[in-house]
Structure 1
């Protein structure tokens, strides 16, 4: 394909006298930036993606257009620092060059051929990027400009959270990963067809339904009104747990100073053998009183949550009399939140803990560190938060980390931030009062750049003071390591804690000691340490590349001089000595070796559980290689790339399996195949609430019959191994690369996390037991899909008619689903994935809106806009037109 570059005017204005700061200020105020995806299918259209060293020989073309809306600028001593999550392989305008700095940070600067920006001039800079750009949020905001020694200034045209401000819509077939992509683009029509099998269920039919679904519910034929309030006779809960219940009831409008008696007791003797587990309860709602019996305090707490689940948020507080016997499916019912990539406020975390408790989730996996940020104060190591928690423009990285992920040059946004010791204590106490274990994750040896940079700053400070012993005590990087490494998110060797240095273990010991002390102070002993362990590799040595010097090449791999690539630590003299001593057989085994060493530190501190992402332990023999009583792994292989089989291999090695598959329970993936949705999409193009609800976490091959792969195609799955023990839990993950604000965070998590809660607590009748050797695909018919459909219809109605209103009451900024719509013979038909939510339409471009009535469908003409409304009527879905 031809690439046309629009050059600058040949009659550039005479240089005006501007200071460096004036140049930066002028460009920042007046330079309009626009991106347009020209093609996502570069290799199919003749681009030399392979020769440009694109992984899997896949590349795209983007037109970057700069429009100067201000006076002429002829200065050539400037750089625009911008964020690109794709490696930029080639620039098709010789007046500019792009340089990769670190991570997603790049610079655009003029070459010697630059002729200046004339007033009103538009310049197009086509560039070729690796892979593809399928969702608008791939383009990060807050590029900034520096001229000479000026203060950095954010480009005003990019200082937006809405990418449509600086991006042309992704149109044509560019929403497809490849030309043969079989996904269905989310449109008004396709949404309507998808939603059409879910009808509104009468509210009385839903009465007596609890979320998540109990083991058994028996309706006893009467009703009880809670409108006049209840009176709790508590014989089971601590004061803090009772206070959290009262707080939740107040949120839902239930008066706890009323007269209707609710007695809460403990009596383990009332429970059968299969329900003698933590969290089990019995609920007996009668005309004159309610009795809640907990197997333990946690069970009693959940019994009260179930009583609240029956009630609506409105004035109507009538609930049916019933008897419930209930116990959890999994011991581990988790939510992971990444605050390393972007920080999320303590208040947002507390709101999440409230909802976890309401829906009986009990493990909060707190991903506190990553390459882009260290988020917890550690007494004695101030650099971790003084430097490692802050992002700003400092090329030396001695005062902060360089900007990433759209944070721009300043630290006044969610790119920066940390939890003080008191903040963390507050979170721990809040979680404890709701029966939630907080599991801190300090990711290592990879994804550790924030820690490494901070400890290098500490080293420099103490070394300059002449205290080399102290300087080296917690150093994490071998200063002589010359390894050429590129991590998954384009960092270099400073992304890794060196596993061969005693000071690395000193650091681990120090951090665990301080975090454990916080847990003790909060009255929540540290029972689980999460090591992280994921992605300790050089992506340039992956299967998507081939040696550029090889005689025989394939067209679908990128050409790269592999002789110049290293495994992590391969050029570290300290690790070379360890290999020479036979500590491990090769450099690839070092991360698992380090995990085993850290597990000894964990065990020595009396911490029972060691947890990691499974790939971090892949070279350890089995769970017995670790020093702790239990070893848990978050299993995160995608099912269509073999995860439906490999999970059982891991379980057969004795690990406590926490199912965390990215193609089903990663909440950073988009809700829909729609470029306007937020999220990364390497694992799946879409995971909505319905897909998460239909996930079968214990029989992973089953999902091949009920869902498709990343490209919308069917796949086959079967496992052969017999697990040594059943899976231990289910966890839903929220990674935060594209999630920069608390509102964005809650949009991504809610409401689909409620579906994860349902699957973690309740095994549905349509979930089949795992059978080694039994294969599933789109062509098999092992799953009772009618039962699955009916179960989803029930759950979808519960969300639309009851549960979303509770999220509103709690102040949760959940995603209001985009409705489906079609026009037939001039008549508008609308529906929504969660029946009960109000729908609206406009025939005048959104100036006024009318409520849609399915029983009296309106006649319309011309362009029609549609939207769904939140349960409380105060927020709206994204508007679409047809």
Structure 2
């Protein structure tokens, strides 16, 4: 790293000597006393620090460059950095002495510098940092504090940007102690100040669509209109005479299995429908239905005073017909208007993605989600089962994956566990756990009974640190027994690889499966084969395997960095000569490239994806899916061995999603939209610093924004919503319309440490997702090549129709569906808007 200007360094060193609230240095206070923590045993010292040391955070500025900080010389991406303070306070009565202990803190931003001579600091891995006080540098009496200035990359705009559960480890004591005062998911208990950020700026003015929305909400639809609207909305309906009284349901349907009928009965019971039952008959009519509903999931539902009848194209249609009746029925039972409904799904893929790797979700929480997905006709649950921070499924024969990869503890050698991440603490207060084989089989079976297909994802070759570390532990165990052949069988790295890499979440080269290793292919075959076997045992054979494939890169080689002698004031300085691409110094990969199997290291992820596709096909799985990164260097689906290839597309609309989806679909991929600016449910609901979430794609994604998405005409959305920062942007449709397989919501788990946080973030946005995945609204314009859209400039979209549709949807959610959601025990945000 470049040397800092001496004037700057000297000035900051003086500031760094500041000690808050009269905390005393040893030289001034005469050292410790008999009551000092220095006189305690390591175990007692750690316990005392855990009980009495509190760490609070203040962010002074999110634009440190304006106050004289040379963010570029510190190596900040795009020369962007923030300045803040860690404030260590002694809340106890015993004097705390520096020396003999280390404080471990989490930061989702790279910490670029700690500015205090009393502390040594280092990056451990991922978001974990170690701050070690220099022996004798200071003492803290009762109530005294010491401020430790720091510089972090980018900015801190949300309270959830700052992670809890700092912990201490005393020298000679292997047991870490979480700081009691920081053992909380309430960030306000340890965050003192965050500057007002862009998410609070007045520049985020209401769009014309949002103005119309407010008017429509002021004149909500009538009770009769609400009573006749299902969620998701149906293709068409015609009113009948009178109403059916639904206190319960008596199902007499042919075409559903007993377990599927039991699932519907369970749903009815959960909604309080335990009174007088209405007779529901149903049968499979197949092609006898009208052409536009004569397809999988299509049905005709006839509701009359005397009973209910369903004619369905297939078993899924029967199930969805009953769920539509249950949607129309108030919680606890009541009157449902007589009508005839003809309905069918908009998209084949109506999905929800759940990251159980960063922070585990309990099976009961996943079952509640599946209940809601089935009720609102979402049909694919994409489970992200592995990542750098965790491995979440038992694989027979590879016990280390769950014994080590599924738990976190303070073990710097990572031979017993992964190191703590994401504020988990060293004892899995969040983040730990896995699905046993029996758990997973039961979950697949439970989902299949509700017409939800589970798509498992094992992310490779990037985001694979949990697997790599676990298999290294396996290697050491078997090698120590003298069985080198078995030890190497599933080894996932090249032991001679010396590549210097920093990954997207600040790990090293152990974040990557080495695609040139024979062990990696054996590992993929073992895992895919075992999970496919679980699906067969559940009676729901696996039809889609998700390869992952995203973000296999060194972030320090990104566009926001320059060499040490670079002159661009807007980019960070790093020693580019010392940086490598993933596997850039792997002898195994060098030999493979020399053989002509791949042209360069850039092509290795796509090469590996092609090889894995052969394993997927060999297991009888028809479709391999990948994030768009994973197929970047492929020519098209013809490169892969499976009969079809699905791509999960995660560009934002304002960064070119319309062009990306057209390109992918044009090559023949089955394309699924996972748009971060509309469909990432780990983003905040509103412009509020206390709303949890990442926000790199959207500062505010409420249910209305998700509801307003036009998936088949992405350019249209530029007329309805601004970009991430509240600015208008322009999209002009180019080329033919892209066919998409569907859409899915995403619940990445970095900021969702608990299942309660997960459910708050997912519900009720899941309802808006279901509406758009199942039903195409009248205000969605057809895609026309050459049409231009821009917020505040063009006026092609019928915003009044959008607002009225929203008001009808909102009335149904608030009056019927939220009460049902609460009955099921799911924790939800009760306000739909921001």
TM-score by length of 2: 0.94
| Unmatched tracts of structure 1, length 5 or more | 186-190, 818-831, 835-882
Cross-structure match for 2:281: 263
1:155 aligns with 2:179: yes
Pairwise CA distance, 1:334: 0.2
Cα deviation code 1:50-72 (max 9, x no counterpart)? 11110011000112111112211
Cα deviation code 1:67-113 (max 9, x no counterpart)? 11221122412111111001111122221232110000001111367
Pairwise CA distance, 1:746: 0.3
Cross-structure match for 2:5: none
Cross-structure match for 1:641: 655
Pairwise CA distance, 1:396: 0.8
1:774 aligns with 2:787: yes
1:41 aligns with 2:63: yes
Cα contact 2:213–2:806 (8 A) shared by 1? no
Pairwise CA distance, 1:147: 1.1
Q: 2:250 is matched with which residue: 219, 231, 246? A: 231
Cross-structure match for 1:656: 670
Pairwise CA distance, 1:729: 0.8
Cα contact 1:268–1:295 (8 A) shared by 2? yes
1:218 aligns with 2:238: yes
Cα contact 1:281–1:325 (8 A) shared by 2? yes
Measure the CA separation in 1 of the matches of 2:213 and 2:778: 23
Equivalences for 1:781-820 in 2 at 5 Å?
A: 781-817=795-831
Measure the CA separation in 2 of the matches of 1:386 and 1:230: 46
Cα contact 2:646–2:670 (8 A) shared by 1? yes
Cα deviation code 1:735-765 (max 9, x no counterpart)? 0001111111100100001100100000111
Measure the CA separation in 1 of the matches of 2:204 and 2:155: 16
1:423 aligns with 2:439: yes
Cross-structure match for 2:539: 523
Cα contact 2:168–2:176 (8 A) shared by 1? yes
Q: 2:403 is matched with which residue: 360, 370, 386? A: 386
Q: 1:735 is matched with which residue: 738, 748, 766? A: 748
Q: 1:289 is matched with which residue: 283, 307, 321? A: 307
Cross-structure match for 2:346: 329
Measure the CA separation in 1 of the matches of 2:238 and 2:100: 76
Measure the CA separation in 1 of the matches of 2:589 and 2:202: 44
Pairwise CA distance, 1:169: 4.2
Pairwise CA distance, 1:46: 2.7
Q: 1:120 is matched with which residue: 120, 129, 143? A: 143
Cα contact 1:670–1:678 (8 A) shared by 2? yes
Pairwise CA distance, 1:771: 2.5
Pairwise CA distance, 1:39: 0.7
Q: 1:765 is matched with which residue: 773, 778, 782? A: 778
Cα contact 2:31–2:139 (8 A) shared by 1? no
Cross-structure match for 1:353: 370
SS at match of 2:188: helix
Pairwise CA distance, 1:253: 1.7
Cα deviation code 1:649-673 (max 9, x no counterpart)? 1111110010101111011001011
Cross-structure match for 1:497: 513
Equivalences for 1:845-856 in 2 at 5 Å?
A: none
Measure the CA separation in 1 of the matches of 2:419 and 2:521: 26
Pairwise CA distance, 1:231: 2.2
Measure the CA separation in 2 of the matches of 1:392 and 1:573: 33
Cross-structure match for 1:274: 292
Pairwise CA distance, 1:628: 0.4
Cross-structure match for 2:625: 611
Pairwise CA distance, 1:325: 0.4
SS at match of 1:168: strand
| Structure with more of its chain in helix, by fraction | 2
Measure the CA separation in 2 of the matches of 1:244 and 1:473: 43
Cα contact 1:767–1:783 (8 A) shared by 2? yes
Q: Which has the higher contact order (CA 8 A, sep 6+)?
A: 2
Q: 2:24 is matched with which residue: 1, 5, 9? A: 9
Cα deviation code 1:192-240 (max 9, x no counterpart)? 998565124332221111100111011113112113x332212121101
SS at match of 2:152: strand
Task: Summarize the Cα distance change of 1:194–1:224 in structure 2 as closer, same or farther, 3 Å threshold.
Answer: closer
Tell me the matched-pair count. 806
Cross-structure match for 1:102: 125
Equivalences for 1:514-593 in 2 at 5 Å?
A: 514-550=530-566, 553-593=567-607
Measure the CA separation in 2 of the matches of 1:193 and 1:755: 18
Measure the CA separation in 2 of the matches of 1:398 and 1:78: 22
Measure the CA separation in 1 of the matches of 2:472 and 2:449: 39
Cα contact 2:752–2:758 (8 A) shared by 1? yes
Measure the CA separation in 2 of the matches of 1:57 and 1:111: 31
Measure the CA separation in 2 of the matches of 1:217 and 1:595: 46
SS at match of 2:358: coil
SS at match of 1:210: coil
Cross-structure match for 1:867: none
SS at match of 1:717: strand
SS at match of 2:789: coil
Cα contact 1:344–1:414 (8 A) shared by 2? no
Measure the CA separation in 2 of the matches of 1:808 and 1:730: 26
Measure the CA separation in 2 of the matches of 1:180 and 1:160: 29
Cα contact 1:645–1:717 (8 A) shared by 2? no
Cα contact 1:705–1:783 (8 A) shared by 2? yes
| Unmatched tracts of structure 2, length 5 or more | 1-7
Q: Which deviates further from its counterpart, 102-111 or 521-530? A: 102-111
Cross-structure match for 2:4: none
Measure the CA separation in 2 of the matches of 1:119 and 1:252: 55
1:61 aligns with 2:83: yes
Measure the CA separation in 2 of the matches of 1:230 and 1:463: 62
Cα contact 2:82–2:151 (8 A) shared by 1? yes
Measure the CA separation in 1 of the matches of 2:194 and 2:214: 25
TM-score by length of 1: 0.89
Q: 2:221 is matched with which residue: 201, 208, 222? A: 201
Pairwise CA distance, 1:774: 2.2
1:83 aligns with 2:106: yes
Cα contact 1:648–1:719 (8 A) shared by 2? no
